[in-house]
């Protein structure tokens, strides 16, 4: 039963992944990517990691909705009404990715992998939680700082006006030059 589910999830994941770069419509490409990544979450779930699988599915649904908004905002051909090629160096990319796929597949069949050691714990969620709060604490701390830095950096990059626009190059212009007045006494 598990094998059937895994096989079908895998086939759908790969088909959707190919569809991402075949569809003309950007909306369709986004939802193909969503389908592929939801299948990835399903594979993780079937492999015995229910918590991480569900987290991946939920996160991908939100992420692809955000992605769809950006697609429509930035792409010149969001609905695919006007088929056009947006590719460069297609042959080189195809050759390189085929070589990567061939070498990875060869590696998995040629490398003498070790035998399965130990058995899965009863509660895999408890296992990952205990690891992240125990021996992998440093990983968790680094991930936390990375996420904080991402929030700050993404906000700074996306802002239209920074502090040098408001306060001048020496940061000494008072009051700040703002497009609209406001605040106390202004």
Partner 1 sequence: MTFESVFVLAAGLFSVGLFGALSQQSIVMIMMGIELMIGGIVVAAADFWHFLAPAAADGQVVIVAAVVAMAVEMAMGFAVTTALYRARQVDTTDMAQELKG
* By the rule CB under 8 A, 23 interacts with partner 1: no
Count of chain residues binding partner 1 (CB under 8 A): 79
CA 123 to chain centre: 27
* By the rule CB under 8 A, 20 interacts with partner 1: yes
* By the rule CB under 8 A, 31 interacts with partner 1: no
The set of residues, in sequence order, having a beta carbon less than 8 Å from that of 139 and lying 6+ positions away, is 132
Rounded to the nearest whole angstrom, what is the least distance from the CB of residue 136 to partner 1 in the complex?
Answer: 5
* By the rule CB under 8 A, 109 interacts with partner 1: yes
Give me the residue label for tokens 């090629």: 85
Rounded to the nearest whole angstrom, what is the least distance from the CB of residue 54 to partner 1 in the complex?
Answer: 12
Q: Of the ranges 63-71, 163-171, 172-180, which one interacts with partner 1 (CB under 8 A)?
A: 63-71
Query: HEC string of 18-40?
Result: HHHCCCCCHHHHHHHHHHHHHHH
Question: Per-residue string for binding with partner 1, 68-107, x by CB under 8 A?
Answer: --xx--xxx---------xxxxx-xxx-xxx-xx--xx--
Minimum CB distance to partner 1 smaller for 51 or for 176:
51
CA 55 – CA 35 distance, rounded (Å):
15
Q: For partner 1, which residue of 81, 108, 180, 184 counts as binding (CB under 8 A)?
A: 108
User: From the CB of residue 146, how many other CB atoms can be counted at a distance below 10 Å?
Assistant: 10
Cβ 16 vs Cβ 36: under 8 Å: yes
Rounded to the nearest whole angstrom, what is the least distance from the CB of residue 161 to partner 1 in the complex?
Answer: 11
Minimum CB distance to partner 1 smaller for 55 or for 175:
55
Cβ 6 vs Cβ 46: under 8 Å: yes
Q: For partner 1, which residue of 24, 63, 166, 176 counts as binding (CB under 8 A)?
A: 63
Name which of residues 124 to 153 contact partner 1 (CB under 8 A).
124, 127-128, 130-132, 136, 139, 143, 146-147, 150-151, 153
CA 102 – CA 4 distance, rounded (Å):
25
Among 28, 32, 30, residue whose Cα is nearest residue 16: 32
* By the rule CB under 8 A, 57 interacts with partner 1: no
């Amino acid at each position: 039963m598990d094998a059937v589910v895994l096989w079908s999830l895998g086939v759908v994941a790969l088909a959707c992944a190919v569809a991402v770069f075949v569809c003309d419509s950007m909306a369709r490409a986004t939802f193909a990517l969503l389908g592929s990544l939801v299948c990835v979450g399903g594979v993780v779930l079937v492999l015995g990691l229910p918590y991480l699988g569900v987290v991946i599915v939920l996160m991908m649904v939100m992420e692809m909705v955000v992605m769809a908004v950006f697609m429509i905002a930035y792409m010149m051909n969001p609905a695919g009404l006007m088929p056009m090629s947006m590719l460069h160096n297609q042959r080189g990319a195809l050759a390189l990715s085929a070589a990567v796929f061939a070498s990875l597949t060869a590696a998995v069949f040629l490398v003498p992998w070790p035998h399965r050691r130990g058995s899965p714990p009863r509660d895999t969620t408890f296992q990952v939680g205990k690891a992240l709060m125990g021996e992998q604490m440093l990983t968790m701390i680094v991930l936390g700082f990375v996420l904080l830095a991402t929030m700050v950096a993404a906000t700074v990059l996306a802002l239209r006006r920074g502090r040098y626009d408001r306060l001048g190059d020496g940061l000494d212009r008072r009051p700040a030059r703002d497009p609209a007045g406001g605040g106390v006494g202004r």
